[in-house]
């Protein structure tokens, strides 16, 4: 009988892809995926370290499994992903019932690590080299990408697939733990990416988001030529089958003219650009070591809107960063108001051990002030998002139907006709009533109502 596997994932799309690839490798090794962790022989948590809340959630979940482990010691519990690289042996000390800890750069070794645990070798840990303690080449070799081949059996939907084109980060923003847990920036070869996309096209994939920590810094040298992201998009645009290509997440300084023009000129490239600003204050941006000014970010926005007028631009902001004054915050408010983002992800700053801001700056903005600024900025953004969404009422848009909506899932609707959810080419969420047979198809929908986050339509 096949061993039962459950993977719980928190964090970004990169983690979602990692879980998919780990699951594929274990399915090939004879495991079977299950939704209920208490029915699983192996329970893996793929973790995030970007914010404290994500780590607290994992440690709480591990604590709830101690009773299960006490009564079923043969069950294997593992922590993989970013928290594994950051906390390493601390995980065993905080949760002694954990059997394995495997970092992002070592995920290809999960099957063999599980074999060692099952054979009675005791707790196992596989992590990459600390990039501050070793030479770059050795560190790079300790952060190995997962094999993306043959993953169709574990992909949630045949019509969508994530493709990693690069991994790691060299920006070292002072608040961010990613360079430490994901390793140095490395771009995959163009031919390798193209082969993967062709394979996905043969499997019926219609939408492919290209992933990277700073995806638009993609650069690969092949022979005498250096390929940028715009060159890669040009190659992928010619592949028959996929209808949409997206790329996330972007770094403002690398949003170059050639890339913006590729979004304008290549029909399969979605005019959806996620470009985190983080702050509207030059003083705070310098403290964050973001490498650009608010003025340069505004110039980039203007260039996008001039070149691709219908582009949907989204952003990230951190409020309450070390030393942020009311004047600094007001400059962020001004950027959000002027930027007219489709939506923004807004976070209260929390200190991350191992980052430069934790070493250099006091976390001196009181929590109540962070919360007030967070709520205030969110209210401004939500009003902009609502106005933007309402401009679609009365229009007909094309959506790729992804599946039943969250409301439909909560209602546990079982009939052929359900409330479906999909996205426009600009990543706006649309729900409409329709048959399950529409899932995975591109359809036309007339919008009759809008909220800040959702468009409601009728299938045409």
Residue closest to 295 by CA, chosen among 287, 305, 285, 304: 285
pLDDT at 149: 59
Token pair of 23 as six digits: 């699951």
Specify the residue for token string 């990459």. 128
Return phi, psi of residue 401, to 5°.
-75, 120
Q: Which long-range contacts (CB under 8 A, 24 or more apart) does 258-265 make?
A: 258/228, 258/230, 259/216, 259/228, 259/229, 259/230, 259/233, 260/303, 260/304, 260/307, 260/308, 261/230, 261/307, 262/229, 262/230, 262/233, 262/234, 263/307, 263/308, 263/311, 264/307, 264/308
Pairwise CA distance, residues 453 & 385, whole Å: 7
Cα 62–67–68 angle (5° rounding)?
Answer: 85
Domains in the chain: boundaries: 4-140, 146-390, 396-459
**280: CB partners within 8 A, 6+ apart:** 294, 331, 332, 333, 334, 335, 336
Residue-averaged pLDDT of the chain: 93
Kindly provide the b/e burial profile for residues 218-250, where b requires at least 16 CB atoms within 10 angstroms of the residue's own CB: bebeeeeeebbbbbbbbebeebeebbbbbbbbb
Specify the residue for token string 């705070």. 284
Residue closest to 17 by CA, chosen among 159, 162, 145, 154: 162
Three-state DSSP at 278 gives: strand
Topology of domain 146-390 in CATH is: pyruvate-formate lyase- activating enzyme (3.80.30)
pLDDT of 215-264, one tens digit each? 999 999 988 999 999 999 999 999 999 999 999 999 999 999 999 999 99
pLDDT at 134: 61
CA torsion through residues 202, 208, 212, 218, sign: positive
Whole-model pTM: value is 0.93
Asked if 69 and 38 count as a contact pair (C-beta separation under 8 A), the reply is no
Residue closest to 58 by CA, chosen among 25, 38, 87: 87
pLDDT of 115-172, one tens digit each? 999 999 999 999 998 877 666 667 777 677 676 654 566 677 889 999 999 999 999 9
pLDDT at 408: 80
- Percent of the chain at pLDDT > 70 equals 95
Give the CATH number of domain 4-140; options: 3.40.50.12160, 2.60.120.260, 3.30.420.40, 3.90.380.10. Answer: 3.40.50.12160
Residues forming beta bridges with residue 140, ordered by sequence position: none
**Could you tell me the pLDDT band of residue 45, with boundaries at 50, 70 and 90?**
very high
**303: CB partners within 8 A, 6+ apart:** 255, 257, 260
Q: Is the pLDDT of residue 332 over 80?
A: yes
Average pLDDT, integer, range 395-413:
87
Average pLDDT, integer, range 15-34:
93
218 or 418: which carries more pLDDT confidence?
A: 218
């Amino acid at each position: 009988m096949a061993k039962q596997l459950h993977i719980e994932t928190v964090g970004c799309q990169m983690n979602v892809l990692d879980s998919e690839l780990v699951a594929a490798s274990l399915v090939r090794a004879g495991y079977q995926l299950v939704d209920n962790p208490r029915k699983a022989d192996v329970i893996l948590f793929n973790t995030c370290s970007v914010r404290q809340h994500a780590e607290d959630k994992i440690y709480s979940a591990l604590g709830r499994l101690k009773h299960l482990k006490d009564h079923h010691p043969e069950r294997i519990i593992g922590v993989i992903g970013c928290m594994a690289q950051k906390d390493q042996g601390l995980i065993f000390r905080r949760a002694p019932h954990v059997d394995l800890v495997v970092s992002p750069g070592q995920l290809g070794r999960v099957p063999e690590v599980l074999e060692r645990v099952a054979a009675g070798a005791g707790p196992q840990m596989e992590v990459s080299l600390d990039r501050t303690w070793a030479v770059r080449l050795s560190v790079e070799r300790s952060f190995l990408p997962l094999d993306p081949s043959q993953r169709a059996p574990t992909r949630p939907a045949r019509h969508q697939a994530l493709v990693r084109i690069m991994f790691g980060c060299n920006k070292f923003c002072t608040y961010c733990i990613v360079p430490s847990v994901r390793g140095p920036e490395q771009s995959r070869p163009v031919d390798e990416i193209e082969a993967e996309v062709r394979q996905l096209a043969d499997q019926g994939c219609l939408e492919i988001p290209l992933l990277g920590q700073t995806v638009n810094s993609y650069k690969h040298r092949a022979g005498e030529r250096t390929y940028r992201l715009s060159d890669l998009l040009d190659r992928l645009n010619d592949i028959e089958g996929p209808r949409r290509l997206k790329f996330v997440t972007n770094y403002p300084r690398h949003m170059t003219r050639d890339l913006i023009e590729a979004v304008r000129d290549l029909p399969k490239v979605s005019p959806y650009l996620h470009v985190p600003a983080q702050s509207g204050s030059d003083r705070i941006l310098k403290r964050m070591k973001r490498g650009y000014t608010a003025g340069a970010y505004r110039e980039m926005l203007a260039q996008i809107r001039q070149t691709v007028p219908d582009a949907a631009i989204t952003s990230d902001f951190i409020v309450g960063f070390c030393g942020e004054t009311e004047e600094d915050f007001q400059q962020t408010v001004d950027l959000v108001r002027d930027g007219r983002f489709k939506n923004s992800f807004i976070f209260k700053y929390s200190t991350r051990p191992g980052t430069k801001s934790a070493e250099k700056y006091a976390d001196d903005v009181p929590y109540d002030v962070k919360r007030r600024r967070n709520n205030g900025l969110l209210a401004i953004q939500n009003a902009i998002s609502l106005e933007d969404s309402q401009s679609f009422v009365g229009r007909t848009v094309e959506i790729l139907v992804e599946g039943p909506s969250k409301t439909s899932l909560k209602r546990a609707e079982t009939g052929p006709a359900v409330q479906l959810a999909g996205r426009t080419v600009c990543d706006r969420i649309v729900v409409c009533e329709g048959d399950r047979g529409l899932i995975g198809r591109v359809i036309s929908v007339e919008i009759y109502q809008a909220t800040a986050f959702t468009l409601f339509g009728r299938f045409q």
